[in-house]
Structure 1
């Protein structure tokens, strides 16, 4: 989450007029994240999240994201729900951007996940995958293998200014992944961005999953390695295999993994690391002037990618026999 576009009082009042939410009490920008403009909206009806969609979110994809939230909630997953106008519409336009309001979930994200948090997230991810079955819409993953070369081209000329040798490093990794990317894995709807700030906890229990705006159709195990990268590395860059084992075991208890899926984990982990290194690199080089946003350093995911390049078996990531 972030704020790229400011909202005037007059525009906000006009946008909210079709809703039955009462008087606005406050609107506060949320600085975390890097994709959309997000605000904590408080009205006489309660607390909500107001999102203005920017950057990589295509307006045509919004019915998929909003419909997925409704589908998952109906199946039993705790996640935000779109708020509709009195006429029943969930999408509008605010400050020149497509915009929507979703319900606010109670809970806190964890800054330093422990093994128990990783296990709870693995179980919640499995529920997401299982509950997503039967969703009528689909959306290709535009930030998977086919989208990485265009991202690299957008940053190639300035990559070595971020870190010497980065251009050649990424170029070689892209060649490896194109030659070795696993195909025909069990697939369905994945979250694709389940970082610690997108999982809310009340105590040690997951109270909800949020931020569905990278959700898409792809291999389930690709979602697992995104989580391993986001949850199981320590601040010094080392991989915590105990956390990895906890996440994977809890996932497998809800949704078993095939031998083919397990074998694919190391290569997919490399791809997931490269995906976030590339998007962070592009964002690092292209922060809009005056935006209330904190770009994330691509070096973190370059370091994780270097770790995965040395991994020779799924057991090194925490897969139990």
Structure 2
């Protein structure tokens, strides 16, 4: 969601024409994220969200489109993907592919606003989503697997930035421990969001209005989704027990965790901390983009999560969650 491709006004006119959106009145770039170029576009028919990607394949975009259709038909709060006049889920444009969504109302919460009520509702909605996706037939392997993260770390080893080089060696050790704590063969799997951060949920007062940004959605262990979300929402200098427990409590109101899932949560959480530390080093800390084109995210906050998890271990993590 950073500005990686500068699109000219005529490109937005082409999008509006292809989607039957009317005349373009205003275009505002959104300089956040790590993969796509996003814009808020106001047309004579209303406001839409326009996402341009140069890295996602047509197959991946069709998977996302089918998933969003499934969620919408199941009455789950999710984005509405618009289709072109030819009923295609995306448009080939400027060396990439454009997807257009209805603009989502509501607000994104900031960390100081979070309460146990918010986390309980968040957990409940994630549990509902996991139940719903059990009937979804689409499939996509997780592009951010342990093998992929290991490859990233190998590429960062010996980096000229001393802090990066030192962190990489530590992350290698954390990744090894995470993988030794995960049993990939004994866990319920299905479609997961895989990136449910604070800025990927819209709220209306204290109610979840929508989950959005499903570009990383894939088929993997449901426990990984739980751990990624918990890491994102329940850590503020350290894990906040009351938020962690409220999130797990809400989740289990919608979907009960099997014993095997509980035992794998520590490994998933540690893996997630390593995965996001590594991606933030690559996509933000080492990015050459200027501040006006990219809102940076500090990799050290996720390194702190990895260290906290490593210190508490599997038993301490389950105690934190009251599982």
TM-score (norm 2): 0.93
Flag the 1:181–1:315 CA change in 2: closer, same or farther, 3 A: closer
Q: Contact (CA 8 Å) 2:231, 2:305: kept in 1 or not?
A: yes
Q: Is the 8 A contact 2:285 2:296 kept in 1?
A: no
* Structure 1 unpaired stretches of 5+: none
Matches within 5 A, 1:1-321: 1-55=1-55, 57-112=56-111, 113-158=114-159, 161-163=162-164, 165-184=166-185, 185-234=187-236, 237-290=237-290, 292-312=293-313, 313=315, 314-320=317-323
- Alpha carbons 1:12, 1:94 under 8 Å: kept: no
- Pairwise CA distance, 1:317: 3.0
Question: RMSD of aligned C-alpha atoms?
Answer: 1.7
Once the two structures are TM-superposed, the CA of residue 121 in structure 1 deviates from its matched residue by 1.1
Q: 1:93 to 1:164 in 2, by over 3 A?
A: closer
Which consecutive residues of structure 2, in runs of 5 or more, have no partner in the other structure?
none
Corresponding pairs, count: 317
Deviations 1:21-79 (A, max 9, x none): 11112111112222211111111221111000144x33431101111111111101111
CA distance in 2, matches of 1:206, 1:163: 37
Q: Distance in 2 between matches of 1:318 and 1:76?
A: 30
SS in 1 for 2:191: strand
- What is the SS of the residue equivalent to 2:19? coil
Q: Is the 8 A contact 2:280 2:297 kept in 1?
A: yes
SS in 1 for 2:92: strand
Which string of whole-angstrom CA distances, capped at 9 and with x for unpartnered residues, describes residues 183-224 of structure 1?
220010000000010011000000001100100000001101
CA contact (8 A) 1:200 1:206 kept: yes
SS of the residue aligned with 2:159? Answer: helix
| Shift of residue 10, structure 1, vs aligned partner | 1.4
Contact 1:201 1:207 in 2 (8 A): yes
Are the equivalent residues in 2 in contact too, given 1:266–1:311 (CA < 8 A)?
Answer: no
